[in-house]
Amino acid sequence: GAVVSQHPSRVICKSGTSVKIECRSLDFQATTMFWYRQFPKQSLMLMATSNEGSKATYEQGVEKDKFLINHASLTLSTLTVTSAHPEDSSFYICSAPLILAGAPRIEETQYFGPGTRLLVL
């Protein structure tokens, strides 16, 4: 089946540094990818939609200058947490939709990466 990878799986950094997280669709192309954040014992919250060839769309309350998203190709999206602070510590998960066009309908299934755990000291 479709696979989405994330790198790194875990990162620990000092406050004030920037961290880049990569999301790759390994065997399919995705013009759109999604970035989620999950705090302990909470559900996933959509942060932004990454669009290949255009600007990302951010959800309300998410600072676009802090969470920089670049959809470099049809298989790669990156999320950079700039000037990270301890409150940014969280589990970041990306997803990419696999779209199968056929009768009687177009089916879209989201495939999720394994997540990146960020700890900012």
Partner 1 sequence: KQEVTQIPAALSVPEGENLVLNCSFTDSAIYNLQWFRQDPGKGLTSLLLIQSSQREQTSGRLNASLDKSSGRSTLYIAASQPGDSATYLCAVREFTGTASKLTFGTGTRLQVTL
Q: Give the residues lining the site for partner 1 (CB under 8 A).
A: 6, 32, 34, 36, 42-46, 49, 57, 91, 93, 95, 97, 105, 107-115, 117
Angstrom distance (rounded) from CA 118 to CA 121: 10
Cβ-proximal residues to 52 (8 Å cutoff; 6+ apart), any chain: 30, 31, 32, 71, 73, 74, 77
Nearest distance, CB of residue 66 and partner 1, angstroms: 21
Angstrom distance (rounded) from CA 68 to CA 44: 19
Nearest distance, CB of residue 16 and partner 1, angstroms: 26
By beta-carbon proximity to partner 1, the closer residue of 46 and 62 is 46
By beta-carbon proximity to partner 1, the closer residue of 17 and 110 is 110
Nearest distance, CB of residue 32 and partner 1, angstroms: 7
Tokens of 21: 């997280």
